[in-house]
A and B are shown apart, each in its own frame.
Chain A
Amino acid sequence: MKKLINSVDNVVTEALHGFAAAHSDLVKVNFDPKYITRAEAPVKNKVAIISGGGSGHEPMHGGFVGKGMLDAACPGAVFTSPTPDQMLAATKAVEGGKGTLHIVKNYTGDVMNFELAADMARADGLQVQSVVIDDDVAVKDSTWTAGRRGVGTTILAEKICGAAAEAGQSLSEVSDLCKKVNARGRSMGMALTSCTVPHVGKPTFALPEDEMEIGVGIHGEPGRIRMKLKPADEIVELLMEPIISDLPYQSGDEVLLFVNGLGGTPLLELYIVYNKAAEIARKAGLKITRNFVGSYITSLEMAGTSITLLKLDAQLTKLWDAPVHTPALRWGV
């Protein structure tokens, strides 16, 4: 294992110290238990929004804490859900009098830990609602699995709901909006290489030089199908077809096209992916009115990409365009 670390046991803590030092104008980091809040938290008279998950997906979620997006993020160990005490403490730290929304990615551990945290918060008299994001079309038989994973749509939901909370919407309105974004977002990913969890010290799975995994998640878990490597355009077709056919899109629908890097793929290649994905979307009659390209939800140093389509409307577009100022996203300010 070759990594820029000092000790496998201190990876998350040391990274958080650096994050706090780099972005002290925007965020505050609490270390015991671990959570990140906006520098100005709690924001009075605004619905608070919290997300969290294992570390190793940076900039998600800590990079999205700030004005117009999240109020707090709870980082777990690498690829491991954070624990309920973190979420409970974060909820108490950001509660501004209008309740708190927990945005949870659909993984067994995340869902259970957030459920326990919400139970504890309610027992303490706090108002909490939770929305689970499950947008990964690679997971098919949802009755027979833990259900679709939460991937790229999570960030879009955090941005859009953050703007709605900033605009003064109520907890139930922001919660309904989050469900709406989840219902209109679909994603699928693929990997060219595995990734190495610092604690483990070697790649999570072995992938020969000439093969790839289609339908991967964001934790180095193998995908659904392994096949011979193909040119980028053919790979993009393999990802776009299940996405477009999963959500009934109509010709003329406005969409946001999000091409994401998994951590080890250069932007140069992401634009090759975007080029083909946009062409396929146009051929399907979709109007790409917003786009988003970059490595925002990653799987350590995994090389690969995920594509997310979000069906927009006037409300979602307006909220997407609203000002945001966080360590990883900034526009309109």
Chain B
Amino acid sequence: MGKMLSNGVKFLLTTLLIIAIGFLLFVANKTASEYVILILNLMAINIIFAVSLTLINGITGIFSLGHAGFIAIGAYVSTLLTLPVAQKEMTFLIKPLIYPLNQIQLPFLPATIIAGLIAAGFGYVVAAPSLRLIGDYLAIATLGLGETIRIIANNAWSITNGALGLKAIPPYTNIYWSWGWAFATVFVIASLVKSSYGRALKAIREDSIAAKAMGINVFSHQVMSFVLGSFFAGVGGALWAHLITTIDPKSFAFTKTFEILIMVVLGGLGSISGAIIGASIYTVGLEFLRVLESPFKFGFINFPGIPGMRMVVLSVLLIILMLFWQRGIMGRNELSWDLLYGFVTKRLKKRGGKND
């Protein structure tokens, strides 16, 4: 097993890391370009999406494909609460927005929290019937659910403004909100997973019948995981809406769930640190791939830019990933100080041995 660091040391290291990241973000916020700040915000939001999906799919083993639906709920609820009343009147052309939403305007934080809670509420309502199903059936049911939410959003003109969507959303999302919530998400979910409840959820994933036999109320724990994941999905949706400032039902098609799935699988399904890594790489990688969509030179060769090339490359990458590297970067393991410590000391020992 090797030497392990004491808990005190680990706590100190984690705190230092958070402070370091916080400092970097502070500097970036002051000096970086708008483009870089946009990417950083997207990265944080994608981390929230990926970690919340990992809790449901990777840790608890509930193969849910409906994450986009809860993101949509978060986005719409938060937006309807923060849009100025005058703007609502202007936007809702086909049918006026229902009471009391057309009178309310709330600040960002309460709107985000309410958005998360309502997404969680939907998760609760949806969980009970869905969790009776296993494996593939559950996947299809949750996929249908996500799609149903999108269709309702497309048709409920007096609530969501239907296909027209909502625009001129106040751009509240900044580095502090997005990364603040990202930290909160990671903290809550990581803390959950590192507790007896985390073991219970993993046990349910490994063998729900054995878990039952060991005294675990499988159903209530699955619901808990689903609701918690949906809450953060809703929060992420709220942050996202207030970043891109326009939303419409098309933004929440199955494609969105698929993107998050890529992030999670890339990082390792079942690992929180994997989800963070996967989300970060995906966010940055997607921007790099954008290069492919406008003309560029590679050595001597001129490549014409092709719109849509990004997604083609992405999907090919995912297929290759699954064929050759199913585990993803972290597999089911977590990045930990012990792991790092062991890695570093092994390297140092090797170096020391060579010098003898």
**A-B interaction:** no
